[in-house]
Amino acid sequence: MATCSTLNCCFNPLQNPIKTLPSKQDSIIFFFKNKNKNKGFSSSSFSTSSKSKFVLISNKKLPSSRIFCKTISTDTTVNTTNYEFTDGVSEIELRLYLKGREVEDSRDVFVEADGTSLIIKLKSSGLVTTLLETNHLYDKIKPAETIWYIDEDQLVINLKKYDPELKWPDIMETWESLTVGVVPILKGSSLYIVGESTEINQKVAKELAVGLGYTPLNTSELLEAYGKQSIDSWVIAEGGDSVAEAEGVILESLSSHVRAVVATLGGQHGAASKDDKWRHLYSGFTIWLSQSDTDDEDSAKEEARLQIKDGSKAYTNADVVVKLGGWDPNLSQTVAQACLSAIKRLILSDKKLPEESLYQVRMPR
């Protein structure tokens, strides 16, 4: 069945549509901390169509691993190339149309694969053309087992998957491929968006719900419907603790829901800002959208490390932390894409996590 979004065209993972590579990319850099602390960091990237700045961290459910990312602008131009993509059991096949380019010798084709990156270049009529270049394949491959050949007017690349059980919706990690590929590995687990800003929580949660085909839920709206008054009026009349208590009751009722994206109330009046209200947030995966005043990536990473180490903010209980250097509502899908990428990596590091989250609906911490 095709998965559709109001913001994107339908994408069918069960067929082999002819696709077009983007002519330009912005890139988000990820830094993964290895379990062996002495090994330092490794990096990869994924493409996005918008410019923003944020650092992203995987947190509590994988305590020995951290994920950082920040958007940077690149001027790398990739020629528009049509391709077909097929996901097999243990390998994937990529077919690039050569568009009449003559290949005189096998040495005229350059294929460079390394973990999650792939560069394909073709020399024709004395000119070298980049057919595909990405630093963010949908998942890891085994570079040493890469093979390629010419099939009439197509260049065929066979890549061996590192995880044969993982279904690849596309060759690259994009918003479209993530919204298709993350759904089955979530196994119905809900997502909870927490953070200081109710507006940001709601906008990113809406993007995630539309993309995943999940039910969008908004505790702010539910609270106002229940209390028959605005949140501000409620705080003035009964105090912030009363609002947080009521949201905690709502979160308890929502904890039995599956396939939902829940936008929680931001700020000090929200239940997520209080440690004793997190019991029912553990029934799914939590994402903290954290605004930062830092000006660079290293400072944002250090800020996140210190906050997690300090633990004084209840938000540090979240599974994933996304540091936002400023906010633009037009970039909500970019932030949502980063959230999905982090959740995907978190789950692939321990595939039992979704089942544990669902179990905690019945047996909370």
**Closest C-alpha to 203, from 324, 24, 68, 297:** 324
What is the distance between the alpha carbons of residues 240 and 32, in angstroms, rounded to a whole number? Answer: 38
Query: Residue 101: its pLDDT value, please?
Result: 80
Q: Sign of the C-alpha dihedral, residues 5, 85, 171, 286?
A: positive
Phi-psi domain of 239 (left: phi exceeds 0; alpha: psi -120 through 50; beta: other): left
Return the CATH number of 175-361, one of 3.90.950.20, 3.60.60.10, 3.40.50.300, 3.40.50.720. 3.40.50.300
Angle between helices 240-254 and 219-227 (to 10 degrees): 110
What is the distance between the alpha carbons of residues 14 and 195, in angstroms, rounded to a whole number? Answer: 37
Name the token pair of 84.
């077909």
Regions of the chain short of the pLDDT cut 70: 1-81, 357-365
Query: Residue 105: its pLDDT value, please?
Result: 77
Query: Residue 257: its pLDDT value, please?
Result: 92
Per-residue 3-state assignment (H helix, E strand, C coil) for the chain: CCEEECCEEEECCCCCCCEECCCECEEEEEEEECCCHHHCEEEEEEEECCCCCEEEEECCCCCCCCEEEEEECCCCECCCCEEEEEECCCEEEEEEECCCCCCCCHHHEEEEEECCEEEEEEEECCEEEEEEEECCECCCECHHHCEEEEECCEEEEEEEECCCCCCCCCCECCHHHHHHHHHHHHCCCCEEEEECCHHHHHHHHHHHHHHHCCEEEEHHHHHHHHHCCCHHHHHHHHCHHHHHHHHHHHHHHHCCCCCEEEECCCCCCCHHHCHHHCHHHHHCEEEEEEECCCCCHHHHHHHHHHHHHHCCCHHHHCCEEEEECCCCHHHHHHHHHHHHHHHHHHHHHCCCHHHHHHHHHHCCC
Query: Residue 65: its pLDDT value, please?
Result: 33
Query: Residue 359: its pLDDT value, please?
Result: 57
Contact of 194 with 318, CB cutoff 8 Å: yes
CATH code that applies to domain 83-161: 2.60.40.790
Residue type, 89: V
- Give the domain ranges of the chain: 83-161, 175-361
Query: Residue 70: its pLDDT value, please?
Result: 34
User: What length does the chain have?
Assistant: 365
Look up tokens 């010798």; give the residue: 105
Contact of 95 with 48, CB cutoff 8 Å: no
